[in-house]
Amino acid sequence: MQRISDKDYAILEGIVGKQWVSSAPCVLDTYAYYQNPETMNKDGSQWLPRPAAVVLPQTTAEIQEIMRFCCHSPYMAKPISTGFHTAAAASQENVIVLDLKRMNRIIEIDAQNQIAVIEPYVRAIDLQTEIVRLGLNCHIVSCGANHSLLASHAAAWGYGVSGAATSYSGRNLLGVEWVLPTGEIVTLGSAGAGCGWFSPDGPGPSMRGIVRGFQGSFGGLGVFTKCAIKLYKWDGPREWEFEGRSPKYILKKIPPRSAMNAIAFPSRKAEQDAGYKMGEAELNHGEFRTPMFFAALGLTENNEELKIALDSGLFQKIGKDIISTAVFAASEAEFAWKMKALKQILKETGGVIIPMNIPMRPALLRMAGRLTRGVQDPLALLRRFPFLQDWIGHLPFGQKLKREKQSTLFWLLFRNANNTQAAFRPSQGMATMLGAFDTWDLAHTQAEYVREVKQKYIQQGLILDDGGDLGTGGTFESGHLGYLEGIILYDPSNPQSALAARDLVQTGARDAIERAMGLPIAGFGSEANELFGPACSNYHTWLKRLKAALDPQQACDPFFYVEGTEPGQKENGRRSDDHALDFGYPVQPNLRDLARCKVRSRGGRPAQGPGAFHPCAESQVADIPYGRELRRQHGADDLVGLGRTFHLGLCRRRSFLGRSRQSQGGKAQ
């Protein structure tokens, strides 16, 4: 482990204040544990590099000073907003993580011009809660509304379920305040010229492409300290009442002029066509292609019921091509028009609105499975006589159940809130492959490819048998764009299963080039650039040049953005070729290797949920309970929580004792 020297530590304390720096191992380790680490690390282990220190700056001026410090010291900076994704990890141990939690202000909401200016730790749910009251909404990505809007707009990805109505984050960026790796400040676009935050481009040549590009700069090109985002008109409810408690909240009343439906199409082709048609008619506020397995998961309460549902064979017949949708309208007349248009589209494509008032009780599922054993299309009658869909939906039984299911879609497709523990309850581990943001047709080509390529892993019991097709996503901008990522559910406690997931991601990446399936979601960072760059106009060479020009001292951790120099370019002396991390591209273990592979075991897995910024010594950590109890015991409620680790596994105590840590390459010179 790289220990930060007392002198350097004191410099950081001088910049942000004593309280806001830590190099305590227990704190650093909450920054070394992320989602599906076992599929990201070269040796399949669960820990990412432990950073040298964590600092919590509060102002742009403090960030400038930290960047200047990094320019003249062996350290590199890594900014994170909520730290939701593994791309927020330090790639080496000489990295100082800048956790931007204290920069959490909504600076301005310009309702008239539909613009909000925000700091990094404004979570999507925070802003949305403020703006729906004003009849406005923003684009929220599908990892859930607790992500940072600034991060998704300015720094990384940006695809969410409301893409049909609110585009995608990269397109909604209206300006940034940017601390360059050298410590200078650039404010892009109209705001930089003192004219307000309405345009990210000009005057003169625009830097927006450099800041945002297709995927983002992933913290490798300085720190974004403010950004302006575009807001959209919101026609749904401005207030709603609910009952129940976590994890199940049920709307007391379904808001007027809204419709939340799961629609089953008779074929993939029909589903594709309907996606375009609904987009052209601008029907949906939110939509989510819901694969058969996720439909069964969402309609059952526990794994036992899920198994019964799948064993019934019913879902495999009716659920192969489902899209869940949420429609909102500003007036009764608009709502009536939208419902009419939806019915017409369903008529043209054979789609059926699945009645939500029918209970999915195990006995009923078994019976329905038996009754429909010889039936190819159990929904044929509803398809042929569409009025039956309405009629069943309005029968006097199951109305509370229907409200419950509609509420789930309301939270998911409007509030971007999901019960993660329930969503991943059968496997606890999730990885994703492909998912290029391109046309809706290409999205389906990828989903179909993923379904096929997963089969041999399913047959060998290496990943969960979800039927293969977990292509999730939707359309964007009136059907103009679309994406479906191929989810893989694996068992994180089984190294062979984790490596199978990794192998799938690699295979997908290779075939994305071979079969022209676009740039995958995981197509970012140093190693992916080398693979995809040559197939995409050599973009990686341009990234290297930009990095060299804007970060001459390599003050920012380059790994998730771009590493290395072009021939003839000046080496900055901080290259790091030997990473523990990768996205798996160059190495290609085949299934035989997987069976042989040895993976180092580690101590307990860290708990998920909020940790605490607490200066406890390493030796104290082994036996302390986590979460609320820790905060209570240590009076930590008044401290800013630093822990933002996310894992789909169960909460466990962590043990640092006896834990081995691989040595990291590429330390500072």
Ligand X SMILES: Cc1cc2nc3c(=O)[nH]c(=O)nc-3n(C[C@H](O)[C@H](O)[C@H](O)COP(=O)(O)OP(=O)(O)OC[C@H]3O[C@@H](n4cnc5c(N)ncnc54)[C@H](O)[C@@H]3O)c2cc1C
Angle between helices 292-299 and 303-311 (to 10 degrees): 130
Burial group, residue 347, by CB count within 10 angstroms (0-12, 13-18, 19+):
exposed
Does position 219 interact with ligand X (CB under 6 A)? The reply is yes
How far apart (Å, rounded) are the C-alpha atoms in residues 117 and 150?
A: 9
Size of the site for ligand X (CB under 6 A): 32
Quote the tokens at residue 127. 């802003």
Cβ at position 90, least distance to ligand X in Å: 10
Q: Which stretch binds ligand X (CB under 6 A): 144-152, 187-195, 243-251, 659-667?
A: 144-152
Q: Which stretch binds ligand X (CB under 6 A): 140-148, 257-265, 267-275, 626-634?
A: 140-148
Which of 218, 457, 532, 585 touches ligand X (CB under 6 A)? 218
Fill in the amino acid letter for 29: D
Mask: binding to ligand X, 544-563, rule CB under 6 A, as x and -?
A: ----------------x---
Alpha helices in 411-439 (DSSP H): 420-423
Q: CB-based contacts of 48: which residues, under 8 Å, 6+ apart?
A: 32, 33, 34, 37, 40, 41, 86, 89, 90, 91, 580, 581
Which of 82, 94, 215, 553 touches ligand X (CB under 6 A)? 82
Does position 83 interact with ligand X (CB under 6 A)? The reply is yes
Is the separation of the CB atoms in 667 and 577 below 8 Å? no
Q: Which stretch binds ligand X (CB under 6 A): 11-19, 106-114, 152-160, 255-263?
A: 152-160
Cβ at position 579, least distance to ligand X in Å: 15
Does position 150 interact with ligand X (CB under 6 A)? The reply is yes
Does position 95 interact with ligand X (CB under 6 A)? The reply is no
For ligand X, the closer of residues 189 and 255 by Cβ is 189
Best CA proximity match to 445, nearest among 435, 455, 432: 435
How far apart (Å, rounded) are the C-alpha atoms in residues 341 and 420?
A: 33
Q: Which stretch binds ligand X (CB under 6 A): 17-25, 73-81, 437-445, 507-515?
A: 73-81
Report the sign of the C-alpha dihedral through residues 639, 640, 642, 646, in that order.
Answer: positive
Which of 69, 75, 224, 249 touches ligand X (CB under 6 A)? 224
Cβ at position 445, least distance to ligand X in Å: 19
Instruction: Assign 48 to helix, strand or coil.
Output: coil
Residue whose pair of structure tokens reads 């001292």 in the numeric block:
553
Minimal CB distance residue for ligand X? 219
Q: Which stretch binds ligand X (CB under 6 A): 146-154, 346-354, 374-382, 438-446?
A: 146-154
DSSP letter assigned to residue 571 = P
Say how many Å lie between the first and final Cα of the chain, rounded: 15
CA distances to 11, 78, 90, 96 from 7, rounded to whole Å, are 6, 20, 22, 15
Mask: binding to ligand X, 99-138, rule CB under 6 A, as x and -?
A: -x-------------------x------------------
- Kindly identify the residues of this chain, within the stretch 608-647, that bind ligand X according to CB under 6 A: 646
Residue whose pair of structure tokens reads 């075991």 in the numeric block:
601
Q: Which stretch binds ligand X (CB under 6 A): 16-24, 76-84, 292-300, 509-517?
A: 76-84
Which residues lie near ligand X (CB under 6 A)? 35, 78-85, 87-88, 100, 120, 141-143, 147-148, 150-152, 155-159, 218-219, 223-224, 560, 646
